[in-house]
Structure formats: structure tokens, C-alpha cells
């Protein structure tokens, strides 16, 4: 992955630059930012409406359920994976494992021990963060491609374990997962946003929207803090970060745990909406698509990865009419993106600078190619 980067990395594709917008945003007063945030939330709330759906969804498809069972989940997962890949620069190809841990936590505790949705949510977040630590502790000593391979394996292990464990019914999966309890019956504009049932998928969308907003606030505050600076330094040059006194291992582990926790919360909502989960729900393809969303959108930049995840989840559904060709076209779009806009649709400025420089560009998204002075690192990993 890294081999071509030095040559290609600095090439600027003909794409629109967002510098003017960024510039305005950097200088915008506090109230203007709040107005934008509020407008975005309003757009988020109105998104499932018919008028938007008639364009966004192919005819015959249910737009709110597309939103809740696919798009919003992907956006939430992308926010979580962005912590690992975009901020700390660790390539994780098994992110779906944490999504599965969340899903199976609610499946087991709600069907076997009658825990409520909210109790299992807390437990699932704790369990998936723990899974992140368990995966991270032995593997985060590896770098680049080596880490990617181990995480890929972890994703498969979780799926295979679920598939072969009679405790969770193996390949038949777990059925009868309860919906979240209805919080209130109040109705607004024809929706009962807090009544979770089988018929209306909009309440699940609003639940996910709330999760997404909480995740954005949490991740953004981290990014602007000392933790975010530590992650950026690890992503750009891990050895140099250690020399600056950054406890790199601890911060990498924290990134894994936080990313995993967000993924786990997505799994809980998914399971309780579907009411049944099976191991194929947690296929490698999900990891790959979410990673594609993160990279496509502009890894490291929160609005970027949300846009990327939205596109990745929405595009194949929207063009379902093209049948199997849609995946071909989707693949071609991804390839074209990597050629003309390798930094993503909406990259952060810092990421762009890293990519232009050519060595630290994708953080852990690539092998440590032994260049001058790096041969030792490769030799060390190879032992």
C-alpha cells in the first residue's frame, strides 16, 4: 500500500477544494457555529421525511428503514472506526468484531437473563471496550500491515466463534431480541419518536441519531484535547511521539477501546431493531465497507467520515435497480476516488499536509516500507 504512495501521494487531483469553507469556519464566531450545528440537527431530524425519501430511495423501498438499518448504523460505526484509523492511525480490518460483541451482548443478556435494553447497552459498551483492550494489548506492538492482519483475524475469530457456539445457536443465530421499551407515546408530525416497535423504523433512526450526536461530541472533545494531540503524533510518527514523552502504547490502547465502545453501541441498536442476529450479519464485508467509508470521506475528519459512510451505505441501496452491476460501479467509484482524490472527499487540513509530505500520510494505513533508517523496524517485527 505504501509503495506507490511516495510517488502518488503528492499528486493533487482535480477536485474541489474546501479551503474557502474551512477558512470561513475557522474564523466564524461562536453563534454562527451553533446556528450551523442546530441546522444540521434539524436536517438530521427531518431526514426520514417522505419528500426527501422520494429522491433518496429507489421506488418501492422504505427510506426510513434504509436510514435506520443501514445508513445511520454505518455513520455511527464510521465515527468509531475513525477514532482508530483516522485519529490514531491504526489500521483495523476487524472492526466488525466490536459491532458483533455489542450485538451478541444484547442477544445473550436480553433473551437469557431478561435484561432491559438500557442495561444491556451499558454492558455492551463495557464489553466491547474490553474486547478492544483484549485485542489491543497483545497486538498494538505491531505496526502497519501487521496490525491490519491481526485485526482481520480477530474479526473472523469473533464471527467463527459465534457460528460454532451452541450457546448462541451457532449459524441459526439468536432470535427474539426485545425492542427497546417504549419511553413515551407522544406523537409529533405523525411519528411517535420514542415508541419502539416493529412497524415504524423511524424511532430507531432517532435513537441512532442521538447516539451519533453523543459520539460526535465525545470524539470531537477528545480530538481537541491532549489525547487528540497524542493520537495525531502517534499517527504521524510513532517513534518521535515516544521521544516526546507520549505513552504511545497506552494511547493506542485507548483509541482501540473507545472505537470499540462506539462500535458496540451500534451493535446493540442493530440487534434490537432486527430482533434477531446471525453470524453472517458480522461479515468481513462490513469492516471493509466501513473502512472504505472512513477513507473515502477523509479519514480523521468527522464530517468527512460521516459523509463517506453515508455514501458507502446509501449508494448501493439507491441504485439497487442496476442489480449486480451496482457493486461493479461502486468498486469503480472507489478506485476513481483513490486516483483523483486520495485524501478523501472531505479531508482535514492536517491530513492533507501529512499526505502531501508522503511519509506519514496514511498513518498506519500501510506497511512500514524499510526506507533509509527504517530497515530496523521491519527487522524487529520480522523476528
Residues engaged in binding other proteins (CB under 8 A):
226, 229-230, 232-233, 236-237, 239-249, 350-354, 356-357, 359-361, 372-373, 376, 379-380, 382-383
Report the alpha-carbon distance of residue 242 to residue 237 in Å, rounded: 9
Nearer to other proteins, 102 or 360 (CB): 360
In whole angstroms, give the CA distance from residue 266 to residue 272: 10
CB of 294 to other proteins, least distance (A): 17
Q: Cβ(330)–Cβ(282) under 8 Å?
A: no
CA 13 centroid distance within chain: 26
Nearer to other proteins, 327 or 356 (CB): 356
| Helix, strand or coil, per DSSP, at residue 188 | strand
**At its nearest, how many Å lie between other proteins and the CB of residue 59?**
45
In the bound complex, what is the minimum distance in angstroms from residue 80's beta carbon to other proteins?
22
Give min distance, CB of 234 to other proteins, in A.
Answer: 10
Give the DSSP H or E segment for 192: none
In the numeric block, which cell numbers belong to residue 71?
445508513
CA distance 369 to 144: 10
Q: Are 162 and 104 in contact (CB under 8 A)?
A: yes
- Min dist CB 371 to other proteins, Å, is 9
Name the residue nearer to other proteins (CB basis): 263 or 347: 347
Give the shortest CB-258-to-other proteins separation in angstroms: 20
Helix or strand run (H / E) with residue 142: none
The rounded distance, in Å, linking the Cα atoms of 240 and 228 is 16
Q: Which residues pair with 383 in a beta bridge?
A: none
Q: Residue 252's closest CA among 78, 135, 351?
A: 135
Closest approach of other proteins to the CB of residue 246, in Å: 6
Of residues 96 and 232, the one with the C-beta less far from other proteins: 232
DSSP E strands: which ranges in the chain? none
Pick 120 or 233: Cβ nearer other proteins? 233
> Smallest distance, Å, CB 226 to other proteins?
8
Q: Which is nearer to other proteins, 200 or 238 (CB)?
A: 238
Residue 84's alpha-carbon distances to 31, 91, 288, in angstroms, are: 31, 7, 14
The minimum distance between CB 251 and other proteins, in angstroms, equals 10
Closest CA to 290 of 16, 28, 70, 90: 70
Q: Do residues 282 and 292 touch, judged by C-beta distance below 8 A?
A: no
Cβ–Cβ under 8 Å, residues 167 and 161: no
Which of helix, strand or coil describes residue 198?
Answer: coil
- The smaller minimum CB distance to other proteins, of residues 249 and 314, is found at 249
Residue 50 or residue 239: which is nearer to other proteins going by CB? 239
Nearer to other proteins, 159 or 351 (CB): 351
Amino acid at each position: 500500500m505504501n509503495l506507490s504512495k511516495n510517488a502518488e501521494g503528492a499528486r493533487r487531483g482535480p477536485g474541489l477544494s474546501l479551503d474557502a469553507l474551512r477558512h470561513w469556519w475557522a474564523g466564524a464566531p461562536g453563534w454562527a457555529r451553533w446556528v450551523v450545528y442546530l441546522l444540521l440537527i434539524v436536517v438530521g431530524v427531518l431526514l426520514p421525511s417522505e419528500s426527501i425519501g422520494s429522491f433518496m430511495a429507489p421506488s418501492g423501498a422504505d427510506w426510513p428503514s434504509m436510514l435506520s438499518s443501514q445508513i445511520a448504523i454505518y455513520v455511527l460505526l464510521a465515527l468509531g472506526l475513525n477514532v482508530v484509523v483516522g485519529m490514531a492511525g491504526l489500521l483495523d480490518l476487524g472492526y466488525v468484531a466490536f459491532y458483533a460483541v455489542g450485538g451478541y451482548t444484547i442477544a445473550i443478556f436480553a433473551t437469557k437473563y431478561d435484561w432491559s435494553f438500557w442495561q444491556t447497552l451499558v454492558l455492551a459498551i463495557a464489553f466491547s471496550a474490553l474486547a478492544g483492550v483484549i485485542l489491543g494489548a497483545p497486538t498494538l506492538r505491531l505496526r502497519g500491515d501487521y496490525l491490519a492482519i491481526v485485526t482481520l483475524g480477530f474479526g473472523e475469530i469473533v464471527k467463527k466463534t459465534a457460528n460454532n457456539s451452541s450457546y448462541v445457536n451457532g449459524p441459526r443465530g439468536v432470535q427474539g431480541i426485545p425492542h427497546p421499551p417504549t419511553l413515551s407515546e407522544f406523537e409529533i408530525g405523525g411519528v411517535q419518536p420514542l415508541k419502539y416497535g416493529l412497524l415504524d423504523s423511524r424511532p430507531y433512526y432517532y435513537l441512532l441519531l442521538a447516539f451519533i450526536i453523543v459520539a460526535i461530541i465525545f470524539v470531537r472533545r477528545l480530538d481537541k484535547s491532549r489525547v487528540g494531540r497524542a493520537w495525531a503524533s502517534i499517527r504521524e510518527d510513532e517513534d518521535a511521539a515516544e521521544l516526546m514523552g507520549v505513552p504511545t502504547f497506552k494511547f493506542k490502547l485507548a483509541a482501540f477501546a473507545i472505537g470499540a465502545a462506539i462500535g458496540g453501541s451500534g451493535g446493540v441498536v442493530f440487534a434490537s431493531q432486527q430482533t434477531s442476529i446471525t453470524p453472517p450479519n458480522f461479515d468481513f464485508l462490513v469492516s471493509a465497507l466501513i473502512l472504505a467509508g472512513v477513507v473515502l470521506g477523509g479519514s480523521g475528519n468527522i464530517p468527512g467520515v460521516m459523509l463517506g459512510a453515508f455514501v458507502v451505505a446509501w449508494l448501493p441501496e439507491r441504485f439497487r435497480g442496476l442489480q449486480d452491476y451496482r457493486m461493479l460501479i461502486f468498486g469503480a467509484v472507489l478506485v476513481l476516488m483513490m486516483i483523483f482524490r486520495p485524501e478523501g472527499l472531505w479531508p482535514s487540513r492536517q491530513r492533507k499536509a501529512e499526505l502531501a509530505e508522503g511519509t506519514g500520510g496514511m498513518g498506519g494505513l500501510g506497511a512500514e516500507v524499510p526506507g533509509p533508517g527504517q530497515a530496523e523496524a521491519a527487522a524487529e517485527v520480522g523476528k
